[in-house]
C-alpha cells in the first residue's frame, strides 16, 4: 500500500515532511487524529533502512497513540514524529532545532515527547521553540504502575483474589521492567526475571528478591502472567507454541510478532491485555505535564485496570480477540466525542 493509501485507509489528518538541505535533516510528523485533543507522541530518532520506512513507522506509531490515549480516557489525540538519522550528539545538535521549528509550525496540533533515540534533555532543546513539550520528566515509573495495575486486574478477572503467591515473569529490567518488579514483589508476587545485561539481573535478584532465568527461557516460563518489558515483536509463533503463562500483560510496545497472534492467544485460552492498554501510564503522565497538573493521574492509572477488564469482558461477549475489541472500543469513543464536539483545532 502506498503512503497516500495509508493516509486514506487509516483516516490521517495530516502528514508533514521536512527535507532541509542546509542541515541535512529528513523528518516526518504524523498527526493521526485530534478528535480528543492535540496529538501527542514521541520523537523517534533512528536511521531507517529507507526514508519510506521512516514515514511508515511515524504513521503506524501515530495511529497507535490515538488508540492508546482514547482508551486511557485522555484529552489527547495520536501523533508521532521521526528523524531519520542515528541519534548521535552531532546529529541531534544539527537536527533537533530544525525539527523543533517543524513542530512549532503545526500550531499546537502535535505535542512531542521522548521516544527511542531521544530523552528528556532533547525535549529541553525542543522546548526552546515549541510551547508545549512532554517527557521532561521520566514517564517510566508511571508506565510501570499502569502495567502493575493491569496485571492485578487481569488476575482478578481470571478469578484470583490478589497477587500474593502468584508467579509473574518480567522480560527486560530497564526503566519499566525494573520498577514493575519492585511493585510486584511488594504485592507478594514471586517474580522471575531475565535481561541480556547480567548486572541488571543481579541487581534485581539482590535488591528485590527476583529469581533469574535465562534470557531464552523467560518468555516460556511456567508463570501466571508474562510481562514483556524489552523489545517489541517477541511473541513469535515459536514462543506461542511453548507459552506456559496464562496471561500476557505487556509493558513493551507491539509484543506480538503479528497482530493475528492475538487470535491465536485467544484460541489457546491465554488472556491477552493489549500493550497500548497496559502501558498507557507514560502517556497519562505526559498529559499531566501538558496540563501542568498531576491531579487525576492516580485515578487514570487505576482506570487502566478497569479498561483492561472492560476489554476482556467485551472480547468474551463478542467472541473475538482483545486486540480487535480494544480497537473497536477506541473507535466507538472517538466517534462519540466527534459527535459531541468539533475536532481540535480546525485546520486553517
Ligand atoms: P529500557 O531500554 O530502559 O529497557 C529495556 C531492557 O530490556 C534493557 O535492560 C535491555 O537490556 C533489556 N533487553 C533487551 N533485549 C532483551 C532480551 N532479548 N531479553 C531480555 N532483556 C532484554 O526500555 P524501557 O523504557 O524500560 O521500555 C521497555 C519497553 O516498554 C520498550 O518496548 C518501550 O517501547 C516500552 N514502553 C516504555 C515506556 C516508558 O515509559 N519507558 C512507555 C511505553 C512503552
Ligand 1, residues 44, 229, 236, 280: which to mutate, most atoms within 8 A of Cβ?
A: 229
Interval between CA 172 and ligand 1 midpoint (Å): 6
DSSP SS3 for 7:
helix
- Quick one: DSSP state of residue 161? S
- Say how far apart CA 192 and CA 173 lie, in whole Å: 11
What sign does the dihedral 211-217-222-228 (CA atoms) show? positive
- Say how far apart CA 154 and CA 176 lie, in whole Å: 19
Interval between CA 11 and ligand 1 midpoint (Å): 30
Q: According to the annotation, is 172 in a ligand binding site?
A: yes
Ligand 1, residues 230, 249, 273, 274: which to mutate, most atoms within 8 A of Cβ?
A: 230
What sign does the dihedral 262-263-267-272 (CA atoms) show? positive
Q: According to the annotation, is 176 in a ligand binding site?
A: yes
Atom of ligand 1 nearest to the CA of 254: 32
C-alpha cell of residue 248: 500476557
Nearest residue to 222 (alpha-carbon basis) of 232, 230, 213: 213
DSSP SS3 for 210:
coil
pLDDT digit string, tens, across residues 203-234:
999 999 999 999 999 999 999 999 999 988 99
Nearest CA to ligand 1 atom 41: 140
Note the pLDDT of residue 340. 83
pLDDT digit string, tens, across residues 105-150:
999 999 999 999 999 999 999 999 999 999 999 999 999 999 999 9
The Cβ of residue 285 has, within 10 Å, a number of other Cβ atoms equal to: 25
Nearest CA to ligand 1 atom 14: 230
pTM over 0.75: yes
Nearest CA to ligand 1 atom 30: 252
- Using the predicted structure, report yes or no on whether residue 170 has a pLDDT greater than 60: yes
Q: Say how many domains are in the chain.
A: 2
Nearest residue to 68 (alpha-carbon basis) of 274, 258, 271: 274
Q: According to the annotation, is 73 in a ligand binding site?
A: no
Residues 6 or more apart from 215 whose CB is under 8 A from it?
171, 194, 195, 196
Q: According to the annotation, is 296 in a ligand binding site?
A: no
Residue 291: CATH number of its domain:
3.40.50.720
318 in the same domain as 251: yes
- Using the predicted structure, report yes or no on whether residue 325 has a pLDDT greater than 60: yes
Note the pLDDT of residue 75. 94
Nearest CA to ligand 1 atom 1: 174
Query: Which is higher by pLDDT, 254 or 166?
Result: 166
161 in the same domain as 43: no
157 in the same domain as 62: no
Residue 109: CATH number of its domain:
3.40.50.10860
90 in the same domain as 233: no
Note the pLDDT of residue 259. 84
Interval between CA 232 and ligand 1 midpoint (Å): 9
Domain-embedded: residue 340: no
pLDDT digit string, tens, across residues 285-305:
999 999 999 999 999 999 999
144 in the same domain as 123: no
Beta bridge partners of 195: none
Domain-embedded: residue 135: no
DSSP string for residues in 77-133: EEEEEEEES---HHHHHHHHHHHHHHHHTTTTSEEEEE-TT--HHHHHHHHTT-S--
pLDDT digit string, tens, across residues 47-76:
999 999 999 999 999 999 999 999 999 999
Q: Which residues are catalytic?
A: 80
Give Dmax (Cα) for the chain: 61
pLDDT-above-70 percentage for the chain: 98
Structural domain including 18 reads 3-66+76-127
Beta bridge partners of 42: 113
Amino acid at each position: 500500500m502506498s503512503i497516500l493509501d495509508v493516509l486514506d485507509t487509516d483516516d490521517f489528518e495530516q502528514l508533514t515532511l521536512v527535507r532541509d538541505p542546509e542541515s541535512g535533516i529528513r523528518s516526518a510528523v504524523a498527526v493521526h487524529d485530534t478528535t480528543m485533543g492535540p496529538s501527542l507522541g514521541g520523537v523517534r530518532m533512528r536511521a531507517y533502512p529507507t526514508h519510506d520506512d521512516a514515514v511508515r513507522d511515524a504513521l503506524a506509531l501515530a495511529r497507535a497513540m490515538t488508540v492508546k490515549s482514547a482508551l486511557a480516557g485522555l484529552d489527547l489525540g495520536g501523533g508521532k514524529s521521526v528523524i531519520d538519522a542515528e541519534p548521535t550528539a552531532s546529529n541531534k545538535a544539527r537536527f533537533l532545532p530544525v525539527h523543533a521549528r517543524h513542530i512549532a509550525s503545526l500550531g499546537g496540533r502535535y505535542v512531542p515527547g521522548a521516544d527511542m533515540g531521544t530523552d528528556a534533555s532533547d525535549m529541553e532543546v525542543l522546548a526552546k521553540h515549541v510551547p508545549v513539550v512532554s517527557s521532561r520528566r521520566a514517564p517510566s515509573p508511571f508506565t510501570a504502575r499502569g502495567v502493575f495495575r493491569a496485571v492485578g486486574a487481569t488476575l482478578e478477572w481470571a478469578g484470583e483474589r490478589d497477587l500474593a503467591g502468584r508467579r509473574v515473569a518480567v522480560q527486560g529490567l530497564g526503566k519499566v521492567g525494573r520498577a514493575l518488579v519492585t511493585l510486584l514483589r511488594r504485592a507478594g508476587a514471586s517474580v522471575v526475571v531475565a535481561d541480556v545485561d547480567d548486572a541488571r539481573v543481579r541487581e534485581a535478584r539482590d535488591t528485590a528478591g527476583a529469581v533469574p532465568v535465562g534470557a531464552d527461557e523467560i518468555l516460556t516460563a511456567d508463570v501466571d502472567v508474562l510481562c514483556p518489558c524489552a523489545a517489541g515483536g517477541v511473541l513469535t509463533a515459536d514462543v506461542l507454541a511453548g507459552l506456559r503463562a496464562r496471561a500476557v500483560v505487556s509493558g513493551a510496545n507491539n509484543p506480538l510478532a503479528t497482530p493475528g497472534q492475538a487470535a491465536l492467544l485467544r484460541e489457546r485460552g491465554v488472556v491477552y491485555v493489549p500493550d497500548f492498554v497496559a502501558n498507557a501510564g507514560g502517556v497519562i503522565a505526559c498529559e499531566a505535564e501538558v496540563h501542568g497538573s498531576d491531579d487525576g493521574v492516580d485515578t487514570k492509572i487505576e482506570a487502566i485496570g478497569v479498561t483492561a477488564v472492560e476489554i476482556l469482558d467485551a472480547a468474551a461477549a463478542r467472541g473475538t480477540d482483545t486486540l480487535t475489541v480494544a480497537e473497536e472500543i477506541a473507535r466507538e469513543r472517538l466517534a462519540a466525542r466527534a459527535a459531541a464536539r468539533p475536532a481540535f483545532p480546525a485546520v486553517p
